[in-house]
Structure 1
Amino acid sequence: MKGIMVQGTASDVGKSVVATAFCRLFAEEGYRVAPFKAQNMALNSFVTVKGGEIGRSQAVQAEAAGVEPTVDMNPILLKPKGERIAEVIVHGYHYADLEAGEYQRRTISEMLGPVQESLDRLAEEMDVLVIEGAGSPAEINMKERDIVNMRTAMLADVPVLLIADIDRGGVFASIVGTLAILDPHERKRVKGIVINKFRGDLAILQPGLDWLEKETGIPVLGVLPWRKVEIDPEDSLALDRMVTSSPEKEIDIAVIRFPHISNFTDLGPLMRIPGVDLRWIEKEKDWGEPDVVVLPGTKNTMADLQWLMKQGLAERVQGFASSNRSVVGLCGGFQMMGHRLEDPEGVEDHIPSAKGLGLLPVHFHFEAKKRTVQTKGFVPSVWAQGVRVEGYEIHRGRAYLEEDAHPFLHLDEGGVDGAVAAEGRIWGTHLHGVFDQPAFLSRWINELREKKNLPPLNEEVFMSKSKEATYAELADWVRDHLDIEKVRAIMEGNR
């Protein structure tokens, strides 16, 4: 199998971004490229065409490579849903809800087989695999059961590049320490080092790079300068970066930061709109004077609804909605906005039923079967009447619209989704990706602006840089700053 693996000295050092860049770079060179991550722990997920659920980062990397995302690109997905409990998804579908210790005991015996199956299928279909690790390969307490780092590298028999983040400090110690903890046969698999997120004069750094090569015997393939990356983040470590402060401060959008927040990539497009401040609310003191309150997705709707009430934020949201302001709910946030939530089978939590916020004329009933589907539709009324949208759904159970309720979307497959009230001020939907639609986003933002007597923004403002342009820039970024000939030689086996 021809491929290369990107591992890191820690989480959030840039593995996903570098892997995405390699996917595009090798695709531009004419290879059929597939991303791969054996096991992903993330609440940002994606639904494939066939309805399988995978980590969002592998979907982004597949798009960069110009291939359709499949469940083989991320055979194991872990979605935390409670204290030490996670949903285990294997090859795109629910496998079990397991406590952390139980999952660890079953990892090798039950998860390694699906990983190998996916690697074998991708090896038959593709020319090159770009494999991403998770966290660090040198977590001593986890190494015996770690299937996503060195064990994957050995199963695929690929060389490893080690990525380190210089922006957080201690970069040389993190690299040398990681290599020291690896077993000798694991260390031999590391064929190159990459320094990421550098700000400064490379000449000043060079003596350190020379020392690093001499100390480790492993070549430094290059230093990647710090850059703002406009691809969907993988995990909650990116939450604090998803805050914007516009000089104009025209529209204040406050998002409830649930303990089990998921698919927060839905909010990414809002960060790029001029005049929009995007911020988090965790406590009453954070409330301020928002124009809109957004209830985002959550992996545990029932638990996060109870948290909302305990924090005193449920009453604030209800009062805000009754004062002629806008409230928006996405997936789990939409479910909370109804009159009642029923969970008799304990699908979400141990709470069998709960009173909702009462903002929309719907009630929700949880069911064991999960709906994972890509879908399209259009908005039948209010400020976005006739606008087409598309995205994907990931939720259990369904919303039941009550008498005289108005759906937010009519779906192409038949049926409806979401609900809308108060002449469009209050709305909710299960559809992830609704803000990715420029026509929809422009209608909504300009509706908010009109209510504040602000002039509308031009359509061009909402046409963000294309993803294709972003992927091409990432490929140029690694091409300009890494020794790609050495990278290619390492991948080809001339090490």
Structure 2
Amino acid sequence: MKARAIMVLGTGSHVGKSLLTAALCRIFARHGYRVAPFKSQNMSLNSAATIEGLEIGRAQALQAEAAGVAASVHMNPILIKPSGDHSSQVVVCGKIWGRVTAANYHRRRIEELLPVVRESYDSLASQYEVIILEGAGSPAEINLKQHDIANMRMAEMAEARCLLVGDIDRGGVFASLLGTLELLEPDERQRIRGFAINKFRGDAKLLEPGVRMIEERVQKPCVGVVPYLPSLMLEEEDSLGLPAIMQTQWTPAQTSDSSTDRALRVAVIALPSFSNFTDFDSLRAEPSVSFLFCRTAEALTWADVVILPGSKQTVDDLLWMKRSGLDIAIKRYAQTGLIAGICGGMQMLGKTINDPSGMEREGSVAGLGLLPIHTLMQTEKVTRNAKGQLAAAVLFGQHFMDCGVAGYEIHIGHTDYEKGATHFSTLFSKDDPSDISRDGCVSADTRVFGTYLHGIFDEDNFRHQFLDAARVFHKLSSPVITNPWKQLREDSLNRLAREVESALDMKAVFDWVGLPYKLHLPEYRSPQLRRAGVER
């Protein structure tokens, strides 16, 4: 039997479709249904590795986590990773399909990619009872609609009942709801069973007259008003959400505090092609950390730890640092400070980056020279979930005790080590224990290290030892409070689901797909945390 389908559409980008999709996944899972997320086409520099060792958008991995299932490549068969203003890398079924311009992709996507989308959706629909689909941008982009495979064409293919979401926090929510519906064809409007207003803060009574008027105007019911939910420990889908979390200058309070119990100042270089900025959510959430996304050399002077993050265009971002003088500032900082590099950031810390095939930028460029490694860009991407053990017993001059590491790799570079170089960790694939490899590198003085592992800071033991070691190095006291990150994420997913379930007419939503809705169910705990024995 083909799965029942609900599709979350938006009046535009960043209206909250991804988190509402995650909430619905958690709600249906809590009611005992086998549920999975699906987004046919996603544009994001935040990605994740699947159980098959393939690449999908980070938002769909979060939604799978909310549903309590392993992330699969079929949940996001097409991922577009912008390489600049005019071209993008297109990942199809988890592997690089090519680099194309927007116009070229627009012309080819229905003819070449719609069958792939259909195959992935049908695969999911045969395994699950309910599919929660997420649209992309707006379904009413009339200049793109003819070739759109992410919104109404997908809703028709899945025979989905659609929920249209507007963001009141951005203003103009009633106009955006009305305008979206007016630009749809009559049969498309028929698929939309109701609308919801998202990110509301204030007095709900002041909103009621507008809700009644728009219901009468569009002849669709408002199924609820979802409140603005601050402090959720859940990642933003892409860079549209980055400005809201980006602090770019240290405050006087941060720089003037000289006490030993002050916060550790961690600065991440905000590269132009910054990818997987979700790597640092767990660090930002730690009470003992002052966190900064920085783009100036001046900001480094106050940092206790500097991190070079992942990049979609590693060489271009390295050249940007050289033009801005950040390369000199980082080398100067390295003489006395602590530095970490993640994926592309690690490659930049090495001696050279060579790209003979032009996967990102053809040619060879000198790195920062802080790690004794050389990177060769290759045509095949490494994508896998991995875990292992630290090979370097000492980081930042401190011993790490029985420290495992875990995360996921998504990179096209191969690392060669100079003689005598120390690697950071020994890894094996979570899905294939025989797949063992060396990862990363540590400088001779142990104050600089790099790793290919995205998500490494999400592991509580490693993150806490990392912070402890940095604090000891800077003669700071141990933190009084540390976060259990995985439990915080689980609590955030449950909070999101509770708030959405309270705000929406869930009986109506369940009725759309012919399923009974039950009140007063016990709190949901993910299978992953149940297996791990994590207590509430």
State TM-score, norm by structure 2: 0.88
What is the rounded CA distance, in whole Å, between the counterparts of 1:250 and 1:460 in structure 2? 12
Aligned pairs for 1:150-161 (under 5 A) are 150-161=152-163
Change (3 A) 1:424 1:369: same
For residue 424 of structure 1, give the secondary structure of its aligned residue in structure 2: coil
For residue 89 of structure 1, give the secondary structure of its aligned residue in structure 2: strand
What corresponds to 1:451 in structure 2?
A: 473
What corresponds to 1:328 in structure 2?
A: 340
User: Residue type of the partner of 2:344?
Assistant: G
* C-alpha deviation, 1:308, in angstroms: 1.1
Aligned pairs for 1:13-412 (under 5 A) are 13-228=15-230, 229-243=232-246, 250-284=263-297, 286-322=299-335, 324-350=336-362, 352-380=363-391, 381-382=393-394, 383=398, 384-412=400-428
Q: Which region of structure 1 is more displaced relative to structure 2, 158-167 or 281-290?
A: 281-290
For residue 215 of structure 2, give the secondary structure of its aligned residue in structure 1: helix
What is the rounded CA distance, in whole Å, between the counterparts of 1:28 and 1:86 in structure 2? 38
For residue 464 of structure 2, give the secondary structure of its aligned residue in structure 1: helix
Are the equivalent residues in 1 in contact too, given 2:300–2:306 (CA < 8 A)? Answer: no
Aligned partner of 2:441 among 389, 396, 419:
419
Could you list the per-position Cα deviations for residues 139-187 of structure 1 after superposition, in whole angstroms to 9, with x for gaps in the alignment?
Answer: 1221112110111101111111011111111111111111111122211
Runs of 4+ in 1 over 4 A off after TM superposition: 244-249, 285-288
Change (3 A) 1:463 1:268: closer
What is the rounded CA distance, in whole Å, between the counterparts of 1:469 and 1:385 in structure 2? 28
Aligned pairs for 1:4-19 (under 5 A) are 4-19=6-21
For residue 483 of structure 2, give the secondary structure of its aligned residue in structure 1: helix
Change (3 A) 1:284 1:452: closer
Change (3 A) 1:402 1:459: farther
What is the rounded CA distance, in whole Å, between the counterparts of 1:374 and 1:464 in structure 2? 17
What is the rounded CA distance, in whole Å, between the counterparts of 1:325 and 1:293 in structure 2? 8
Could you list the per-position Cα deviations for residues 447-479 of structure 1 after superposition, in whole angstroms to 9, with x for gaps in the alignment?
Answer: 121233221125743556343322222221111
What is the rounded CA distance, in whole Å, between the counterparts of 2:301 and 2:441 in structure 1? 27
Are the equivalent residues in 1 in contact too, given 2:304–2:474 (CA < 8 A)? Answer: no
Q: Which region of structure 1 is more displaced relative to structure 2, 104-113 or 450-459?
A: 450-459
For residue 208 of structure 2, give the secondary structure of its aligned residue in structure 1: helix
What is the rounded CA distance, in whole Å, between the counterparts of 1:278 and 1:13 in structure 2? 26
What corresponds to 2:258 in structure 1?
A: none
Unaligned runs of 5+ in 2: 255-261, 429-434, 517-536
Q: Which region of structure 1 is more displaced relative to structure 2, 27-36 or 85-94?
A: 85-94
* C-alpha deviation, 1:446, in angstroms: 1.3
What is the rounded CA distance, in whole Å, between the counterparts of 1:421 and 1:493 in structure 2? 58
What corresponds to 2:455 in structure 1?
A: 433
Unaligned runs of 5+ in 1: none
* C-alpha deviation, 1:88, in angstroms: 1.2
Are the equivalent residues in 2 in contact too, given 1:347–1:366 (CA < 8 A)? Answer: yes
What is the rounded CA distance, in whole Å, between the counterparts of 1:464 and 1:75 in structure 2? 27
For residue 147 of structure 1, give the secondary structure of its aligned residue in structure 2: coil
* C-alpha deviation, 1:16, in angstroms: 0.5
What is the rounded CA distance, in whole Å, between the counterparts of 2:426 and 2:123 in structure 1? 38
Are the equivalent residues in 2 in contact too, given 1:255–1:279 (CA < 8 A)? Answer: yes
What is the rounded CA distance, in whole Å, between the counterparts of 2:382 and 2:473 in structure 1? 36
What is the rounded CA distance, in whole Å, between the counterparts of 1:286 and 1:150 in structure 2? 46
What is the rounded CA distance, in whole Å, between the counterparts of 1:218 and 1:97 in structure 2? 41
Could you list the per-position Cα deviations for residues 54-90 of structure 1 after superposition, in whole angstroms to 9, with x for gaps in the alignment?
Answer: 1111111111111111111101111112342211111
* C-alpha deviation, 1:408, in angstroms: 0.7
Identity %: 43
Could you list the per-position Cα deviations for residues 284-322 of structure 1 after superposition, in whole angstroms to 9, with x for gaps in the alignment?
Answer: 455452112111000111111111111111111111112
Q: Which region of structure 1 is more displaced relative to structure 2, 100-109 or 419-428?
A: 419-428
Are the equivalent residues in 2 in contact too, given 1:38–1:148 (CA < 8 A)? Answer: yes
Could you list the per-position Cα deviations for residues 350-402 of structure 1 after superposition, in whole angstroms to 9, with x for gaps in the alignment?
Answer: 3x100000000111111111111111111121133530011111111311111
RMSD between aligned residues: 1.8
